[in-house]
Amino acid sequence: MSDDEREEKELDLTSPEVVTKYKSAAEIVNRALQLVISECKPKAKIVDLCEKGDSYIREQTGSMYKNVKRKIERGVAFPTCVSVNNTVCHFSPLASDETVLEDGDIVKIDMACHIDGFIAAVAHTHVLQEGPVTGRAADALAAANTAAEVALRLVRPGRKNKDVTEAIQKIAAAYDCKIVEGVLSHQMKQFVIDGNKVVLSVSNPDTRVDDAEFEENEVYAIDIVASTGDGKPKLLDEKQTTIYKRAVDKSYHLKMKASRFIFSEISQKFPIMPFSARALEEKRARLGLVECVNHELLQPYPVLHEKPGDYVAHIKFTVLLMPNGSDRVTSHSLQELQPTKTIDDPEIKACLALGTKTKKKGGGKKKKGKKGAEAEPMDATNDATPQEQD
């Protein structure tokens, strides 16, 4: 057991091979996101978009590490979700679903890829329209994006998780928006998409997490959802839930044959990572999944909604806390935004002006503009690009 523990300790960012795997997964998921955005057009079927994202990730990861002695698991770490308008998250419908995109839709795309269990996650919001995004939709997007930019600067060794929670709520308020409750940013480790160190989006008496300090060589998926509504999303229809993750610490002897069949298939195909019920035989899955969920063998990812007419924006990125600073490895540039509000808070402005790299001896400057990393301008507030000010 001590050998395993020793091996586990070594599998973090101190290993160049691990950093390479994170960055390779990030490149693939950034390209998959670009592909899905390019296919987001009026009348495009949402299920087709989800399939395209997942297929691209499977195809690209499948061509890597083919000729190695040890089998390296790789592929989709979180199924592609396309959640539209007031739908907050996790919409990844079954093959029979006919839902399509319409002109003017606010489209939130959420996906993740892994190589050898090292996960790169990303979410982005794209509005189906020509020209700049204006009005309250722009406010929601600017709130999510500015909060993400500030979080990037606060998730660094020595800072606390509660610093991030306080800052992102302040930013949302400046845009007259709410950060959506129940969205958590997690530390990620090998094969662990939701590690124990957590950043709350909204602090309230119902949801408590342990105080934690960020440390060098950790990896986080920073996940921010902003809404023009009240930020308290509801589950409207359990039948919409299609994404599940096996709860490895639970066991139960299933009574129904369909449940046993499905659970066996899940255990073989998706022992650790979240998966979509689309990957299972549909009729059998409908029957079998219910018993598995009722007895907590599977953790569901419900489809949540704000009220109709509310604008909801989602930004998620993966950040590696490297010795030379924070390296944001997943992102996509935003459309031009013209929000109705601006950020006047001097503390937030000062935070946005911070660099994300740490000065080191011997010149210290790190190359900018890596694929999907930090060269993205601050469209949200039409400010200068703080990333350039290291």
Express each pLDDT in 351-362 by its tens digit.
Answer: 899 888 765 444
**What DSSP string describes 43-77?**
T-BHHHHHHHHHHHHHHHHHTSSTT-SS---EEEE
Express each pLDDT in 8-33 by its tens digit.
Answer: 455 899 999 999 999 999 999 999 99
Domain 242-301, CATH number (from 3.30.70.260, 3.10.180.10, 1.10.10.10, 1.20.1050.10)? 1.10.10.10
Q: How many CA atoms lie within 13 A of 112 on its CB side?
A: 26
Express each pLDDT in 62-109 by its tens digit.
Answer: 999 888 888 899 999 999 999 999 999 999 999 999 999 999 999 999
**What DSSP string describes 159-189?**
-BHHHHHHHHHHHHHHTT-EEPTT-EEEEEB
Cβ 311 vs Cβ 228: under 8 Å: yes
pLDDT band at 308 (very low <50, low <70, confident <90, very high): very high
Express each pLDDT in 212-235 by its tens digit.
Answer: 999 999 999 999 999 999 999 999
Query: Does residue 302 carry a pLDDT above 90?
Result: yes
Specify the pLDDT at position 240.
92
Output the average pLDDT for the chain.
88
CATH number of 16-241+302-353: 3.90.230.10
Express each pLDDT in 28-57 by its tens digit.
Answer: 999 999 999 999 999 999 999 999 999 999
Q: What is the mean pLDDT of residues 352-375?
A: 52
Query: Does residue 145 carry a pLDDT above 80?
Result: yes
Q: What is the mean pLDDT of residues 269-282?
A: 91
Specify the pLDDT at position 286.
81
Query: Does residue 386 carry a pLDDT above 50?
Result: no
Domain ranges for the chain: 16-241+302-353, 242-301
Express each pLDDT in 158-180 by its tens digit.
Answer: 999 999 999 999 999 999 999 99
Task: Please name the residue that has the structure tokens 């023009």.
Answer: 228
